[in-house]
């Protein structure tokens, strides 16, 4: 049921089709984040109209609320959140390490306290597979240890070893669960770690490939505070280490310029809360003026859409003057309209990259696009 | 351009058609509130799909932000908020008396401080006409003094006198403005005061009718804390005093049961923030179970829509279990989905009342409806 077809390449950049039980995802593709089973403020018909092929939901959040067993009883995540397209759930690891308060990390798993009510919980590689089985996403992620950006080599090395050991346990439990019940068809992606250490990255990738033939690869431990140059260097290295015929999901990226840079280095799938978080702060992306904050007084009587080249609902219907009024008045509609624009902006960037890769004009286009975007970029 | 045709009556209840430059409003009609030029969280296509014939916006809020002159330069309120249907703006009086901090009320007008930044402003009958001219709504309201519920007779009497004097100034300035420019076609409604004092109410209504032939009447000073019985008594009294062939707008009502009671007493137009405010608190209205709060644990696995008899988007697409999850998680989508339901609930109540008035079954239906609604009404 899962398959990745590479349709075209331009340098390291790839255009492909990732087939899942809930439909095809044409890559490169940005996945909107539906943290607790809702893309903040949007109905799923709107998400579909954005052209989003696949959405992401967070295991950590759904485990705490409403609980994975409840989601299972209600028919699984697709039915629960009214989305018939492909879904990917993360492992919960990133949230446990960044959001919850950790009580203990040991070889068996992680003990943590809920960020909601302080209640105590534990994730193990096995339990994370069970939770994601109950949620029923198409793609599930292996439980990994993600050290913070700036971690020293010894820490990164230890996290790599643990992630590798956990991966084996994830795979075994994942297979057991598949055998136990008809359940949903799912693909398990491992998560590559190794921080900014090239040799650890290479070693991790090779160990993963030795362990199994994975349907896709998650690239973790980037965009966690390291220098941009380090991220690009690691992606270039991984491009040579990962199989051509499997999708590569760069976790937590990103902003428009980072997305293009990562596509240029062979990444296929992306997710980030930046589009919706920026929407909450009144910030929108434009191709001609970079990132703008609509609160600025210069938009007071500006009757142009946010981005005249954009085909989203917001740009087709509203002008900057009205959107500025919503932002200044802290109105609910602001979040919705700016989220639609920012999400469409990234989805469209993936679409255009794919087209450019197909006709061999990706690299020149990317350079021009980035130059224009960065030159105009105003401080948010 | 403005006309009210009475189509049917059942007791005091009236079905009519109110014609405006931006279309007909079939009454009884609930008007969604778009405080600062947005019905909280909704796009205007959604408001249209609710069946709403007319929306309300608040002069006080728009005067402060973004400013009425800016709205005028941007093409007026219809263009600004993307709503081609009829709009009514209130006079700002109610917000000045309830939201701003009053510095002084005198015969010329009211001095107040903005609730946003404490800046000083003044409203006079004339300035309120100028502001509403700039906004360009179809129906504009006269500037009135609305004493709080429980005001003594002397206070109510003084407010009546002032409101009457202000009304004459409003009318004169309104006509001057009409003569000065092509501008939008607008209708000016006076606002009846008199608190719960029957003789003051009667006197006010008669003075208004003596002063002019108004295109419609606002009924103010009710639903401000008085006993329900007092409100019904005043409406019954006014039914005999107001002309049959003019619409009556009961300001600030209301909840579903109040709406039905007021329709039964001859009111045609209504507005209230209750549908959207309740949505923010997780509260929804149902015809079989009264008012329910979706946070309740009993909805945890409830796969029914909020109201199985409702035809709104929310009820056609989502179940209580998912909505409860949104409410418990304080997700943005909650406000939007519950607002759609609650607004549709009131609009539909108006539609059904109209149908029942037309076929002469209004009164029995109303009694049954209220009995069922109130019997089941759970504490929110």
What average pLDDT does this structure show over B200-221? Answer: 98
Asked whether the beta carbons of residue B41 and residue A336 sit closer than 8 angstroms, the reply is yes
Asked whether the beta carbons of residue B317 and residue A41 sit closer than 8 angstroms, the reply is no
pLDDT at A129: 98
pLDDT at B376: 66
Residue with tokens 């917001």: A314
Asked whether the beta carbons of residue A336 and residue B336 sit closer than 8 angstroms, the reply is yes
Asked whether the beta carbons of residue A328 and residue B82 sit closer than 8 angstroms, the reply is no
pLDDT at A99: 80
Shortest CA distance from B324: residue in chain A: A66
The dihedral through the CA atoms of A43, A45, A51, A53 has a sign that is positive
Shortest CA distance from A314: residue in chain B: B43
| Residue B369: other Cβ atoms inside 10 A | 18
On the question of pLDDT at B378 being above 60, the answer is no
Q: How far apart are CA B52 and CA B218, in angstroms?
A: 19
Which among B313, B321, B331 has the least Cβ separation from residue A36?
A: B331
Shortest CA distance from B333: residue in chain A: A41
pLDDT at B183: 85
Interchain CB contact of A41 with B (< 8 Å): yes
Strand partners, B17: B5, B26
Q: Which residues of chain A have pLDDT under 70?
A: 376-380
Interface predicted TM-score (ipTM) of this complex, two decimals: 0.96
Which among A65, A70, A301 has the least Cβ separation from residue B70?
A: A301
Strand partners, B24: B19
> Annotated catalytic, B271?
yes
Asked whether the beta carbons of residue B36 and residue A332 sit closer than 8 angstroms, the reply is no
pLDDT at A380: 44
Residue B251 near residue B94, CB atoms below 8 Å: yes
Collect all residues of chain A within an 8 Å Cβ-Cβ radius of residue B329: 36, 65
> Annotated catalytic, B144?
no
Residue, of B245 and A375, whose pLDDT is higher: B245
Interchain CB contact of B317 with A (< 8 Å): yes
Per-residue pLDDT of A12-67, as tens digits, reads: 999 999 999 999 999 999 999 999 999 999 999 999 999 999 999 999 999 999 99
Shortest CA distance from A317: residue in chain B: B82
Phi-psi region at B109: left, alpha or beta (left = phi > 0; alpha = psi -120 to 50): left
Asked whether the beta carbons of residue A73 and residue B301 sit closer than 8 angstroms, the reply is yes
How many residue pairs from chains A and B have C-beta atoms closer than 8 A?
Answer: 95
Collect all residues of chain B within an 8 Å Cβ-Cβ radius of residue A335: 332
Q: How far apart are CA A165 and CA B42, in angstroms?
A: 49
On the question of pLDDT at B380 being above 50, the answer is no
Residue A188 near residue A218, CB atoms below 8 Å: no
The dihedral through the CA atoms of B33, B37, B41, B47 has a sign that is positive
Which among A36, A74, A318 has the least Cβ separation from residue B82?
A: A318
Question: Strand, coil or helix: what is B269?
Answer: strand
pLDDT at B299: 98
Collect all residues of chain A within an 8 Å Cβ-Cβ radius of residue B313: 43
The one catalytic residue among B138, B258, B268, B271: B271
| Residue B19: other Cβ atoms inside 10 A | 15
Residue A65 near residue B329, CB atoms below 8 Å: yes
Question: Strand, coil or helix: what is A188?
Answer: strand
Residue, of A192 and B379, whose pLDDT is higher: A192
Shortest CA distance from B39: residue in chain A: A333
Task: Tell me how many degrees the CA angle A112-A114-A115 measures, rounded to the nearest 5.
Answer: 120
pLDDT at A280: 97
On the question of pLDDT at B261 being above 90, the answer is yes
What average pLDDT does this structure show over B9-28? Answer: 98
CA dist A346 → A18, A90, A161, A313 (Å): 18, 20, 34, 14
On the question of pLDDT at B377 being above 80, the answer is no
Asked whether the beta carbons of residue A38 and residue B326 sit closer than 8 angstroms, the reply is yes
Which among A82, A329, A331 has the least Cβ separation from residue B318?
A: A82
Asked whether the beta carbons of residue B300 and residue A70 sit closer than 8 angstroms, the reply is yes
Q: Which of A39, A277, A294, A322 to mutate to test the interface with B (most CBs of B within 10 A)?
A: A322
The overall average pLDDT reported for chain B is 96
């Amino acid at each position: 049921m899962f398959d990745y077809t590479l349709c075209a390449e331009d340098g390291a950049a790839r255009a492909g089709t990732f087939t899942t039980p809930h439909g095809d995802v044409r890559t490169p593709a940005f996945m909107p984040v539906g943290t607790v089973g809702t893309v903040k403020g949007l109905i799923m018909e709107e998400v579909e109209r954005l052209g989003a092929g696949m959405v992401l939901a967070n295991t950590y959040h759904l485990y705490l609320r409403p609980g994975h067993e409840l989601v299972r009883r209600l028919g699984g995540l697709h039915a629960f959140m009214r989305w018939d397209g492909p879904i990917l759930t993360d492992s919960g690891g990133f949230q446990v390490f960044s959001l919850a308060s950790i009580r203990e990390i040991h070889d068996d798993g992680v003990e943590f306290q809920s960020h909601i009510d302080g209640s105590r919980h534990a994730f193990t590689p096995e339990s994370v597979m069970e939770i994601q089985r109950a949620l029923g996403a198409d793609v599930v992620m292996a439980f990994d240890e993600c050290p913070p950006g700036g971690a020293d080599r010894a820490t990164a090395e230890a996290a790599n070893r643990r992630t590798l050991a956990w991966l084996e346990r994830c795979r075994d439990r994942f297979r057991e669960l598949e055998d136990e019940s008809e359940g949903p068809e799912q693909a398990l992606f491992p998560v590559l770690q190794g921080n900014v250490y090239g040799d650890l990255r290479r070693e991790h990738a090779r160990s993963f490939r030795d362990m199994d033939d994975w349907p896709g690869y998650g690239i973790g431990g980037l965009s966690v505070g390291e220098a941009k140059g380090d991220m690009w260097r690691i992606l270039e290295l991984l491009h040579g280490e990962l199989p051509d015929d499997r999708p590569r999901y760069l976790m937590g990226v990103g902003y428009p310029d980072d997305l293009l840079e990562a596509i240029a280095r062979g990444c296929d799938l992306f997710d980030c809360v930046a589009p919706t978080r920026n929407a909450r702060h009144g910030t929108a992306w434009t191709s001609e003026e970079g990132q703008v904050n609509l609160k600025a007084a210069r938009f007071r009587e500006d009757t142009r859409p946010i981005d005249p080249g954009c085909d989203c609902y917001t740009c087709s219907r509203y002008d900057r003057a009205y959107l500025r009024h919503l932002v200044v008045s802290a109105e609910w509609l602001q979040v919705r309209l700016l989220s639609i624009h920012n999400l469409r902006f990234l989805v469209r960037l993936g679409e255009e990259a794919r087209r450019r890769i197909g006709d061999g004009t990706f690299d020149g286009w990317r350079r021009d696009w980035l130059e224009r975007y960065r030159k105009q970029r105003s401080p948010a």
